Structures are given as C-alpha cells and as structure tokens.
Chain A
Amino acid sequence: MEPTNDETPLTPAQMLALLEDQQRTVAGRMASFVPWILLSWGVAWLAGFLILWVDAVPYDGPTVPSVPAGVIFGGLLAVATVVSMVLGIRSGRGLRGTRESAFVGIVYGNMWWIGSIALIVIGRAMVDRGMPVALLAVFFPSAYFFYAGVMYVMSGLVWRARPMCCSGSGRCS
C-alpha cells in the first residue's frame, strides 16, 4: 500500500523549518504579555511618583511621604505586581517548561521581593547609624530605581528581550 501524502516523511530541511516555525509561534505567544506588564508598571510608576511629588511639594525639602500617599504608592506597585504575576502565569499555560526554566523563573521571581526587603533593611540600618530619616526620601526611590533596572537587565538576558535590557540599563545608568 502506498503511503498517503500525510504520511510522507518530511525531509530534514522541512523538519527544521517546522521546528523553527513552532519555536517562533511559542516565543511570540509568550512575548505577547510583555507589553501589558510594561504598561501596568509604567502607569504604576508614573501615577505613584506623581502622587508622592504632589504630597511633598508643600514641604520644599527632604521629607518622608505622608501615610495616605505612601499607601497609594504601595498599592499601585502591588497592583502592577499582581498583573505581572497573572499575565506571566497565563502566558505559560499549556506549555511544559524544563526544570532549568522553572528554576530560573523561581529564582528571578523571588529576587524581586528578597531584594526589596533587603533595601528596606539597608535604609533602616542607615537611619540607625545616624542618617536623617528625611533622607530616606532620596535613598528609597534611587535604590529601587536602580534595583528595578538590574532586575530588568537580568530578565532581558534570561528571556532574550532587548526592550527589557535597554529599559534596565537606562535605569541603572
């Protein structure tokens, strides 16, 4: 019995083309959530720092943000974090990752909160050693801005996303 067209074995070149096509499809599907994550962080940073600025303008100098401004700022960052987590999980639905990719994702994801807590502790330690409390208004934004930049460069290198590398290196400089 002659094989039908569907059962005709693919040539090596056709198999390679099929493999590359599948890789592009998966990469495109996984990358489609990146703009939405960046948009959520853009809105959170823009609105959050504008609120801190409006809150601090009357003092004209180093000052710690008021509780409502700090809560709103933290809430905006929390919302962006949740959006990132949900979209990140949805992007990987239906795909079987390797142990290596799972390891990278777990380490990267946890480094956000570990590094954030470390920066809070460093700031408090500097205050304990004599730094004026009001200067935390300089330390925290600068430190978090820098740390977010480092993490973005890391994500760009891990997931081969040039926009993330450029954004991160711009922040760090």
Chain B
Amino acid sequence: MTAVGAFVPLPTHYLFYAIAGGGAFLLVAAWSTWWVHLARRRVARAAGPDHA
C-alpha cells in the first residue's frame, strides 16, 4: 500500500492513508479478536467441562 500511496495525487493521499492504514488496522483488530476468541475456546475445551 505504501507504493500505491506514494503515487496518489496530493492531498488525496492523506485520504488514501486514512482508509488504507486506519481501515487495515481496524480489519486486523477484528481478525485478532476472533483469533483470541478461538484461542480461549481451545483453552476452555482443553480444561474440560468444569472450566468451560
């Protein structure tokens, strides 16, 4: 995205970095939330029904 952003006309490049940069962070935050949720479920399953 850096290579693309460097060629985006100014000042629209700020808008590009807002959406590409901030949006990517938010998408990965959602992904990692799911990732952590799955990890917790695996731990609960491994601990057995008493700890689930």
Contacts and interface: CB of A to CB of B under 8 A. Distances in A.
With a 10 A CB-CB cut-off, give which of A32, A38, A161, A166 has the most chain B CB atoms.
A38
Interface in A136-167: 137-138, 141-142, 145-146, 148-149, 161-164, 166-167
Interface in B28-50: 28-33, 35-36, 39-40, 42-43, 46-47
Nearest to A28: B39
B21 A49 contact: yes
Interface size class for chain A? Answer: 35 or more
Contacts of B32: 31, 34-35, 38, 161, 163
Main secondary structure of the interface of A (DSSP, over half): helix
Main secondary structure of the interface of B (DSSP, over half): helix
A90 interface: no
Given A142-B5, A145-B17, A163-B31, A34 B24 contact: no
Interface of A: 17, 20-21, 24-25, 27-28, 31-32, 34-36, 38-39, 41-50, 52-53, 56-57, 59-63, 137-138, 141-142, 145-146, 148-149, 161-164, 166-167, 170-173
